[in-house]
C-alpha cells in the first residue's frame, strides 16, 4: 500500500573534492535498498558539500565543488545539490545540516524543497508524486506522524561511520541525535568491519534499527583522493567521474600539487572547535 510507506530523503555530506561516480552510486544503492524493503519510499537525494571553513588539506573552493556536483546531477530527476552548508562562513556540524533539511521539509511554503523536488511533467512521463499529499499544516496534532513527514537520513560510506571513533571529530551527543532522530544509511563492501564497529559502540548499538547497512556487491574503489592523485600525475580519470565533471576540472585546471597543499598544517575545523570547547 503506497500510502503506508515512510518517505525518506537521503542527505550526503562530505567534501566532494571532487564528486565521483562512487558518490553518485551511494544514492542509487540506498534507493534500491529502501524500495526493496517495501516500507520506504525515497523521494529525494541531497548532496551537501562542506564549506571551505572545514579546512581539510587539499580542499578547493566550495564554488567549484558545488558546481561540479550540480553538473554531475543535472540529468538526475531525484538527486540535487544544496549549497546552504557550503555558503556558511563557519564550519557546521553535520547534525546542524540534518536539522536544517528536516526543518525545511516540515515547513510548507514556496521554498518548501518537497514542492521543488517534484519534476516537471514531460510528455509520456507520469508524475512521481502528487503535490500537497502530506501537508503538515493541515494536521491537527502537533507532533508529526512518523509516516506522513519525510525522514531525512544521513547517507554515507563505512569510512564516515567509523570516523565516529576518531577523538574530537564528533560530539557524542551529536552522534546520538543523528541516529536517534534521523537515521543513518551506510553503504559498504561485503565483509567489512562496520557491523563490528556498531557492536562495539553502545550508542550505535542502541539505535541499530535506525542504522541501515547496505552491501555494495559491485565494488568501487573510486575515492576523491585517488582522483586528485591521478590528476596530479596527468593520468586519465575518465569513467571514474561523470564526463561533465572531468571536462570542468580540465577547463579550470583544478587539482595540482599546489591545490593539494591548501590548508597544509591547519587543524581541521571540528578538531579545532572541540579542543577549544573542552578548554572553556
Q: Where does this chain bind other proteins (CB under 8 A)?
A: 21, 24-25, 28-29, 31-32, 75, 217-223, 226-227, 230, 239-240, 242
In this complex, which beta carbon is closest to other proteins, that of residue 23 or of residue 134? 23
Place of cell 538526475: 76
Place of cell 558545488: 66
Give me the least distance between CB of 231 and other proteins, in Å please: 12
**Count of other CB atoms within 10 angstroms of residue 253:** 9
In this complex, which beta carbon is closest to other proteins, that of residue 24 or of residue 81? 24
Give me the least distance between CB of 156 and other proteins, in Å please: 17
In this complex, which beta carbon is closest to other proteins, that of residue 188 or of residue 201? 188
Phi-psi category of residue 73: left, alpha or beta, with phi > 0 → left and psi -120 to 50 → alpha: alpha
At a CB cut-off of 8 Å and minimum separation 6, what does 33 contact?
A: 185, 212, 214
In this complex, which beta carbon is closest to other proteins, that of residue 35 or of residue 147? 35
Give me the least distance between CB of 115 and other proteins, in Å please: 25
Give me the least distance between CB of 218 and other proteins, in Å please: 5
Sheet-wide strand order for 151-157: 79-81, 40-49, 6-14, 151-157, 184-189, 211-216
Give me the least distance between CB of 226 and other proteins, in Å please: 5
In this complex, which beta carbon is closest to other proteins, that of residue 186 or of residue 198? 186
**Exposure class string for 78-102: b at 16+ Cβ within 10 A, else e:** bbbbbbebbebeebbbbbebbbbbb
Amino acid at each position: 500500500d503506497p500510502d503506508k510507506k515512510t518517505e525518506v530523503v537521503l542527505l550526503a555530506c562530505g567534501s566532494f573534492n571532487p564528486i565521483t561516480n562512487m558518490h553518485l552510486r551511494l544514492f542509487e544503492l540506498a534507493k534500491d535498498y529502501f524500495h526493496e524493503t517495501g516500507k520506504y519510499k525515497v523521494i529525494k537525494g541531497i548532496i551537501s558539500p562542506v564549506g571551505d571553513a572545514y579546512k581539510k588539506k587539499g580542499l578547493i573552493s566550495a564554488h567549484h565543488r558545488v558546481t561540479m556536483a550540480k553538473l554531475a546531477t543535472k540529468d538526475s530527476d531525484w538527486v540535487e545539490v544544496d549549497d546552504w552548508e557550503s555558503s556558511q562562513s563557519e564550519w557546521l556540524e553535520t547534525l546542524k545540516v540534518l536539522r536544517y533539511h528536516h526543518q525545511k521539509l516540515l515547513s510548507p511554503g514556496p521554498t518548501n524543497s518537497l514542492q521543488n523536488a517534484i519534476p516537471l511533467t514531460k510528455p509520456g512521463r507520469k508524475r512521481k508524486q502528487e503535490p500537497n499529499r502530506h501537508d503538515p499544516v493541515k494536521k491537527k496534532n502537533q507532533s508529526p506522524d512518523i509516516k506522513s513527514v519525510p525522514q531525512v537520513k544521513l547517507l554515507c560510506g563505512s569510512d564516515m561511520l567509523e570516523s565516529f571513533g576518531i577523538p574530537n571529530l564528533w560530539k557524542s551527543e551529536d552522534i546520538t541525535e543523528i541516529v536517534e532522530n534521523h537515521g543513518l544509511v551506510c553503504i559498504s563492501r561485503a565483509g567489512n568491519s562496520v557491523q563490528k564497529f556498531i557492536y562495539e559502540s553502545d550508542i550505535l548499538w542502541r539505535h541499530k534499527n535506525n542504522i541501515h547497512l547496505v552491501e555494495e556487491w559491485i565494488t568501487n574503489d573510486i575515492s576523491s583522493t585517488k582522483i586528485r592523485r591521478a590528476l596530479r600525475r596527468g593520468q586519465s580519470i575518465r569513467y571514474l567521474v561523470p564526463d561533465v565533471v572531468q571536462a570542468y576540472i580540465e577547463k579550470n585546471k583544478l587539482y595540482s600539487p599546489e591545490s593539494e597543499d591548501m590548508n597544509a598544517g591547519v587543524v581541521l575545523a571540528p578538531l579545532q572547535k572541540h579542543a577549544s570547547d573542552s578548554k572553556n
